[in-house]
Amino acid sequence: MQIRDLTSANIGAATSLWVRAGLTRQWNPPELDLQRALDGGTSTVLGAFDNDRLIGTVMVGHDGHRGWVYYLAVDESQRGTGLGRQLMSTAEDWLRKHGAVKVQLMVRSTNEAVLGFYEHLGYENADVQVRSKRLT
């Protein structure tokens, strides 16, 4: 298994994984999110590959201070193997290397099952609300 930056050639496999993992929403095209991350100077998408098969992803980026993690996904056949933990560790290393001093992530309120995973990794409830507004 190898973890490396995705390329545009991996967009189909990554978005398919995200759909299977329940991470996508119809109003937010994941292909565009992925391409923006690949094109940005302060972000990337890391992929875990078993030979040439994409089995996990994590999108990572920073604003110069805070790092953010999105689209952590592990293929169903690989869940419980430690791959999610390994992807998060690699994302945290990427953020440290790029100067971020903290990392944040958002969990949808309907995804309670993943909270224990993040708590086990040392993530705490930041006691904030995320507000959003569509610009397009």
Task: List pLDDT tens digits, range 4-40.
Answer: 999 999 999 999 999 999 999 989 999 999 999 999 9
Look at residue 113 and tell me whether its pLDDT is greater than 90. Answer: no
Q: Which two tokens stand for residue 57?
A: 């992803």
108 domain residue, yes or no: yes
Is pLDDT at 55 greater than 90 in this prediction?
A: yes
Q: How many domains does the chain have?
A: 1
Say what percent of the chain tops pLDDT 90.
80
Q: How far apart are CA 21 and CA 39, in angstroms?
A: 24
pTM: 0.93
Please name which of 90, 44, 1 lies closest in space to residue 14, comparing C-alpha atoms: 44
**81 found inside a domain:** yes
Domain that holds residue 66: 2-121
The mean pLDDT value for 41-48 works out to 97
CATH of the domain at 70: 3.40.630.30
Residue 129 lies in a domain: no
| 133 found inside a domain | no
Biggest CA-to-CA distance, the chain: 41
Average the pLDDT over each of 15-19, 80-84, 130-134 and give the range with the smallest value: 130-134
Report whether 6 contacts 21 (CB < 8 A): no
